[in-house]
Structure 1
Amino acid sequence: MSGWLILSAFVLSLVLIEPRRIPHPVIGIGRLVEKLEIALAVLENRRRAGILLVVLTLTLTGLGTALILWAASAIHPFLAGVIALWIAYTGFALRSVHKETAEVVGLVQSGRVQEARRALSLIVGRETRTLSEEEIIKACIESLAENTSSSLVAPLFYLSLGGPVALMVYQAVTTLDSMVGYLTERYRELGWAAARLDDLANWIPARLTALLMISAAFSLGLNGFNAVRIMLRDARKHRSPNAGWPEAAAAGALGVQLGGPAIYFGEQTEKAVLGEPDRSATSAEYHRMVRLTYVTAALAVILGLLLHSWIWG
């Protein structure tokens, strides 16, 4: 793998809308998880079944990706390069998150708050029916901050470390977590391994994202020192071992307060409060978050290229 793959995939993810008629790799992984979950339903020990689900999904995803690239290379190196680029490109979903949150904020700005709540419900896991305008925008800022890590920095990190195969294995980890990693009666035991592995896979990328976001804040004239302070003070308060790092850094850089009580699956959840309400969370703060996100992304690509060069020479 060469550095051109990283840079080209990132640029494509910014300028190219994913063709809907071409299947996305994550859809294939999702179907694999569904079939394996059904097959493993015969096991009475649900935690053991969940561990087996993770092992089989990651193994089949990694071997399948390697086999496809090997077969393509046997046909022609150019074909293998195109497939590798497609895999890398589909790993970066930050632009999609930006587009979705921008639509929600646009609805708020035009006074269509009820529509904004419905659109937001497609993006976040919390209940949105009673959210105020400011709470809607806060949720969009939080989503951008968290996805800067999970939808760009983490995929870039694994692509730089191990190429398309490592990226696809990471995609399998996040897909498993999104499908079975819930604290519900059905998935509490079955999804235990998937949730723990997702936490582990995102541990380094989340902290890298926060550090890169702080650097981006300084370069944009935002409050980088406050981003450091809030990150160190509040990041560990988040119920997720990873999401709190980029969210706290963003809250500090923007001077807004994120988090707070939310409703998930009909139950009130006391989410940690991150940052201080120096400013209200308005559309202007959302747009500052967008700029912070893309500068962070650019810095992440530079770091990814350096990491790739150090590992692969």
Structure 2
Amino acid sequence: MIKWTAAALILGFLIDLLLGDPRWLYHPVRIIGNSISLLEKWLRKVFPATKQGEQKAGLVLVMLICAGSGLIPLLLLCAAYKIHVVLGFLAETFFCYQLLATKSLRDESMRVYRELKKKDLPKARYAVSMIVGRDTAELTEEGVTKATVETIAENTSDGIIAPLFYMAVGGPALMFLYKGINTMDSMVGYKNEKYLYFGRYAAKLDDIANYIPARISAWLMIAGAYITGMDGKNAKKIFQRDRYNHASPNSAQTEAVMAGALDIQLAGNAYYFGKLYEKPTIGDPLRAVECEDIPRANRLLYVSAGLGTFVFAALRLLAVGIWGLL
């Protein structure tokens, strides 16, 4: 099982680039998401609606989702390899493909771009609302573009580099465990009245799980900026200066690189659930934000993802080779 993971990683990435996430194929993250929703309803009934009660409920949620998202794929993979090595390899490849979001992130962001090109701001706002968590009803054209570029930058790590990293380290089971953690954070990791205590453990665990991948992603994007002819020097400068200009210790890592590579300013104040959150800016406004920054961001996304796939597969092969000599 161990020796086939690098090949499954590469093939899974290539299949994702080709197929993306077809709507007819039920996505495993939907299973994780539905499980989180059901468990949340049950746990809120079992535990009292107090600070301590909600924290305990949130901790139980984290333990159950982590156990399920990691162990179930591991058991399925072991069963597949026990039947035949080819079936096991195909299962590894399929799991890897399912948990990457390279093409789907590009496709969803380019829907926003096409509406902006048509000057249809209401449809552009709706399109961006499908991929961001902030309120979009009042966004200007510049605001829509910035929100799209920011989500491309953040999800370069969360949706691609981090899953590839965990696939290389521990195979599909660890990759699934990461997606379980990340999905919990996206559903309950909010600092609002409903989730401040219930989602605290999920948010903290997501910060831990993304700490290393976010920084690897940033350096891969800096390299990608040079390769694509963007402002690699400024990407590194803004990364080193602004990578902590966010409430999360990880989100600004890749956003800072993206802002520097494009020579624009990102982040700043935003509305979430009708409430204004004051946030620092990231990058310098060396030029005005324009809708063409969306395809530019996607080029950086693709190059960074390709670099990550190559690096992680190579390191996995090296590790397997060293392991074989021991």
| TM value normalised by structure 1 | 0.96
Q: How far 1:75 moved relative to its partner?
A: 2.7
Structure 1 contact 161–307 (Cα < 8 Å) conserved: no
1:156-171 pair list within 5 angstroms: 156-171=164-179
| Counterpart position of 1:199 | 207
Letter of the 1:141 counterpart: V
Letter in 2 for 1:278: L
Which residue, 3, 7, 11 being the options, matches 1:8? 11
Aligned to 1:29: 32
Q: Cα distance 1:17–1:154, how it changes in 2: closer, same or farther (>3 A)?
A: closer
1:208 is matched with 216
Alpha-carbon separation, structure 2, partners of 1:285 and 1:28: 34
Residues 1:43 and 2:47 are matched in the alignment: yes
SS of corresponding position for 1:268: strand
- Any idea what SS the aligned residue of 2:289 has? coil
Which one of the candidate residues 159, 175, 182 is aligned to 1:151? 159
1:1-313 matches, cutoff 5 A: 1=2, 2=4, 3-41=6-44, 42-44=46-48, 45-313=53-321
1: distance between equivalents of 2:42 and 2:294? Answer: 44
What do residues 257-279 of structure 1 show as CA deviations (whole Å, max 9, x unaligned)? Answer: 10111111101111220111111
Preserved CA contact (<8 Å) 1:154 1:205: yes
Structure 1 position 72, deviation (Å) = 2.1
Q: Do the aligned residues in 1 keep the contact of 2:69 with 2:180 (CA within 8 Å)?
A: yes
Q: 1:39 to 1:286 in 2, by over 3 A?
A: closer
> 1:78, 1:65 → 2: CA distance?
17
Structure 1 residues 21 and 115: CA distance shift in structure 2, 3 A: closer
Is the 8 Å Cα contact of residues 66 and 181 (structure 2) preserved in structure 1? yes
Whether the 8 Å contact between 2:19 and 2:103 is mirrored in structure 1 is: no
Distance, in Å, in 2 between the alignment partners of 1:22 and 1:102 is 21
The verdict on how the C-alpha distance between 1:19 and 1:293 changes in structure 2, with shifts beyond 3 A counting, is closer
User: Which residues of structure 1 form unaligned runs of 5+?
Assistant: none
TM superposition outliers: structure 1 runs of 4+ over 4 Å: none
How much identity, in percent, do the aligned residues show? 40
Q: Distance in 1 between matches of 2:287 and 2:258?
A: 13
Contact 1:213/1:296 (CA < 8 Å) preserved in 2? yes
1:299 maps to a residue whose letter is: L
Separation in structure 1 between the aligned mates of residue 69 and residue 224 of structure 2, nearest angstrom: 34
The separation in 2 between residues aligned to 1:26 and 1:120, in whole angstroms, is: 20
